[in-house]
Amino acid sequence: MRARLLLAALGAGLIALPQFSGNYVLSLATLALYFAFTGQAWNVMMGFAGQLSLGHSLFVGLGAYAAAALFVKFGIGPWAGLWLAMAICVAAGAAIGLLAFRFGISGVYFALLTIAFAEFTRIGFDHIGWLGGPGGLFLKVGQRTSWDLADLRGTPAMFYYVMLALTAGAFALCAWLLKSRAGYYWQAIREDEDAARALGINTFRWKLLAVAISAAMTSLAGVFFAFYYNNLFPEQIFHISQSIEIILGPIVGGVGTLFGPILGAVLLTTLADSLTNLVAAMGLDIPGVKQVFYGVILLLVIMFLPNGIWPPIAKRLGLGRKD
């Protein structure tokens, strides 16, 4: 009940936000929601099923390139393109999962495999001339005064609402998954895979499902990325720093929780931006100040709140452990 009230208040605030704020705040909020969404997607794999991915940029990149290529080369809009993006990402996720889970690769080695896939895809895309190679793939920048939802061209407020809808959808999906049979099985696998098997769980199949769902969700973030930024470079979108930024939110907020990834992403994005502005206002030019800030926050959270910021807050609010 309390969780519902909190959620309703949060939702109302977020829906009303564009009425009060300018484009700067909106772009910041969109970025925060973007990381909340991708963090939520990553959390399905790591937080729920215990499979650590350090290569989620693979799914962002593949999704972005799939939808952007369809749009630029064939004039097919994002709402059709996202299905191809999802299909490609699910296939890529399944390939990683099949390889890893069939041969019993888990833990750190699984994480390394996900990095490897993201890295060689990055290098591969550098050599695909049709998609611009290292020079990048560009979408025509549309005019930004009216909403064109069909082609995802419009004002910052439109992009904000699209990202808000995605994040809300991801939240609802995760809440439902966690309470479903899949959610119970994933948590069992995360806690003790041998015991899960002994209880009749085909762990191979359920782990694969977690990867597929996580990949499909992340591909949508990629589609959004392509149409929001209008430019794609393999060096940027497939880069490991993308993957790291995705997982910071849930780790800071609370791995395996529903609100954690959102809270973490919002905190990190707004704080990092404030810090960058502050440094700039002081007339200093410190490259990499954001990364150092992320490092410090991560260190503090791991030292003092290893389960993330959200669980103690949830306790104080009288919410369940999983919320």
Partner 1 sequence: MALLEIRSLSKSFRGLRAVTRASFEVPEGGLAALIGPNGAGKTTIFNMAAGVYAPDAGEIVFAGNRIDGLRPDQVCAAGVGRTFQVVKPFAGMSVLDNVIVGALRAERRVPEARRLALRILEELNLGAKRDLPASSLTLPDRKRLEVARALATGPRLLLLDEVMAGLRPTECDQMVEVFRELNRDGLTILLIEHVMRAVMALAQQVVVLHHGEIIARGTPAEVVRDPAVLECYLGEETEV
DSSP string across 44-71: IIIIIT----S-THHHHHHHHHHHHHHH
Residue with smaller CB distance to partner 1, 85 or 174 = 174
Q: In Å, how far are 15, 61, 129 from 168, measured between CA atoms?
A: 11, 22, 37
Please report whether residue 73 would count as binding partner 1 according to CB under 8 A. Answer: no
Residues 220-239 that bind partner 1 (CB under 8 A): none
- What are 24-32's contacts with CB under 8 Å, separation 24+? 26/156, 26/157, 26/160, 27/156, 28/269, 28/270, 28/273, 29/160, 30/156, 30/159, 30/160, 30/163, 30/228, 31/269, 32/265, 32/266, 32/269, 32/270
Which residue stretch of 15-23, 26-34, 104-112, 187-195 sits at the interface with partner 1 (rule: CB under 8 A)? 187-195
Query: Closest separation between CB of residue 302 and partner 1, Å?
Result: 18
For 33, the enclosing helix (H) or strand (E) is helix 23-43
Please report whether residue 179 would count as binding partner 1 according to CB under 8 A. Answer: yes
Please report whether residue 200 would count as binding partner 1 according to CB under 8 A. Answer: yes
Please report whether residue 141 would count as binding partner 1 according to CB under 8 A. Answer: no
Please report whether residue 75 would count as binding partner 1 according to CB under 8 A. Answer: no
How many Cα atoms are found within 13 Å in the side-chain-facing hemisphere of 170? 32
Please report whether residue 181 would count as binding partner 1 according to CB under 8 A. Answer: yes
Please report whether residue 153 would count as binding partner 1 according to CB under 8 A. Answer: no
Query: Closest separation between CB of residue 248 and partner 1, Å?
Result: 22
Please report whether residue 202 would count as binding partner 1 according to CB under 8 A. Answer: yes
Query: Closest separation between CB of residue 202 and partner 1, Å?
Result: 5
Please report whether residue 187 would count as binding partner 1 according to CB under 8 A. Answer: yes
How many Cα atoms are found within 13 Å in the side-chain-facing hemisphere of 188? 19
Please report whether residue 191 would count as binding partner 1 according to CB under 8 A. Answer: yes
Please report whether residue 195 would count as binding partner 1 according to CB under 8 A. Answer: yes
Dihedrals phi, psi of 53, to nearest 5 degrees:
-110, 130
CA 231 to chain centre: 19
Query: Closest separation between CB of residue 311 and partner 1, Å?
Result: 11
Which residue stretch of 6-14, 82-90, 199-207, 260-268 sits at the interface with partner 1 (rule: CB under 8 A)? 199-207
Please report whether residue 197 would count as binding partner 1 according to CB under 8 A. Answer: yes
Query: Closest separation between CB of residue 180 and partner 1, Å?
Result: 7
Query: Closest separation between CB of residue 190 and partner 1, Å?
Result: 8
Q: What is the DSSP letter of 291?
A: H
CA 118 to chain centre: 15
Site string for partner 1, 238-267 (x = CB under 8 A): ------------------x-----------
Amino acid symbol at 182: A
Binding residues for partner 1, rule: CB under 8 A, are: 179-181, 184-185, 187-188, 190-192, 194-203, 256, 321
